[in-house]
Amino acid sequence: RRKIIIDTDPGQDDAIAILLALASPEELDVLAIVAVAGNVGLHHNATNARKIIELAGRPEVPVYAGCARPIRRPLVTAEHVHGETGLDGPELPAPGVQLQAQHGVDYIIDTLMAADPGTITLCTLGPLTNIAMALIKQPAIAPRIAEIVMMGGAYFEVGNITPAAEFNIYVDPEAADIVMRCGAPITMLPLDVTHQMQSTPERLAALLALGNNTSKAAHAMLTFSEAFDLAKYGWAGAPLHDPTVIAWLLRPELFSGRHCNVKIELASALTAGMTVADYWHVTGRDRNVNYLRHGDAAGFYTLLLERLARLP
């Protein structure tokens, strides 16, 4: 059973990822959820995380708030996709559980330092600010991280917030650069994979047909957030990003890619946050990332629906 910390900016697709993890207790022990600024401001994201654990019937999972802004740049948000609250769509009650008092970055540091090395996986579904700040404050955590599994970046599918950059990396490229160079094993689920995971009308209908409360809420979330992407791409279904991180932990055979070097563009205004993946190994640079490029969408949705059906 893998111990995971989910670092996130929920976000409808983040919410589905958290639900998928909470619905998989045999494989995953969710130690905590740490919110970060991204899709919307930190306050909303931290509130949304608590709404989601309550929706899943798991109010005991602790929720922490991390950093309210990127390391160097002004915060860029995405209300145009996720709505004013970041989780528009379903009517969810205000959370009853409290946010933990400790800062999310300190929680990450203390937890990694206290656990046996190589036993905790960091799942990142938003900008990498909290992880980078933890690495800066306590560099000794790096060799203790089992793995960082992140939704972020793009190479073959280039960008979604700019022509060159994916949102999570674009928001805090300096943080992403620190994480890419930290030495811990990294698996990336970039747009190259998530653009293949399209939520077609049939898949959304199957989600709603599960009939439980959580799936109805999940359906309302995706119906809201995907409207923007459907108009943007003109595809039959919108991409589903963050749940691929959890799906990879559960069913890695659904994905394929290769180990290669990934560096983050920091200097250029035109391409800031670009994840330059040396997929063809033309540079000889370190293979610092397990870069996933393909995903089995049918298998992914089968897994997702099977697991969400288990929730209240």
- 14 or 172: CB nearest ligand BDR: 14
Q: Compute, in degrees rounded to 10, the torsion defined by CA atoms 117, 35, 153, 304.
A: 90
Going through 190-274 in order, the beta strands assigned E by DSSP cover 198-199, 238-239, 255-260, 262-264
Does 152 bind Ca ion (CB under 5 A)? Our answer is no
Alpha-carbon gap, residue 168 to 173, rounded angstroms: 8
Which residues make Cβ contacts (< 8 Å) with residue 146, sequence separation at least 6?
2, 118, 119, 120, 121, 185
Among 70, 83, 89, 126, which residue sits at the site for Ca ion (rule: CB under 5 A)?
126
Among 2, 7, 12, 14, which residue sits at the site for Ca ion (rule: CB under 5 A)?
14
Which residues make Cβ contacts (< 8 Å) with residue 61, sequence separation at least 6?
22, 30, 32, 33, 53
**Is 241 part of the annotated catalytic residue set?**
yes
Judge whether 271 and 165 are in contact, CB under 8 Å: yes
- 64 or 167: CB nearest ligand BDR: 167
Does 273 bind Ca ion (CB under 5 A)? Our answer is no
For residue 241, the minimal CB distance to ligand BDR (Å) is 4
Q: Compute, in degrees rounded to 10, the torsion defined by CA atoms 149, 285, 73, 17.
A: -10
- 40 or 178: CB nearest Ca ion: 40
For residue 40, the minimal CB distance to ligand BDR (Å) is 10
Alpha-carbon gap, residue 214 to 270, rounded angstroms: 41
List residues near ligand BDR by CB under 6 A: 11, 13-14, 39, 78, 81, 125-126, 151, 160, 166-168, 241-242
Per-residue contact flags (x/-) with Ca ion for residues 51 to 70, judged by CB under 5 A: --------------------
For residue 248, the minimal CB distance to Ca ion (Å) is 15
- 232 or 285: CB nearest ligand BDR: 232
Of the residues 241, 259, 281, 294, which is catalytic? Answer: 241
Among 7, 11, 182, 220, which residue sits at the site for Ca ion (rule: CB under 5 A)?
11
- 79 or 106: CB nearest ligand BDR: 79
Site for Ca ion in 194-253 (CB under 5 A): 242
> Pick from Ca ion, ligand BDR, none: which does 167 bind, CB < 5 to 8 A by kind?
ligand BDR
Reduced to 3 states, what is the DSSP secondary structure of residue 268?
coil
Tokens of 217: 């809420």
Alpha-carbon gap, residue 272 to 171, rounded angstroms: 9
> Pick from ligand BDR, Ca ion, none: which does 184 bind, CB < 5 to 8 A by kind?
none
Strand 198-199 and strand 238-239: the pairing is antiparallel
Strand 63-65 and strand 28-35: the pairing is parallel
For residue 34, the minimal CB distance to Ca ion (Å) is 13
Q: How many CA atoms lie within 13 A of 254 on its CB side?
A: 24
Note the residues at the interface with Ca ion (CB under 5 A): 9, 11, 14, 125-126, 242
Catalytic sites, residue numbers = 241
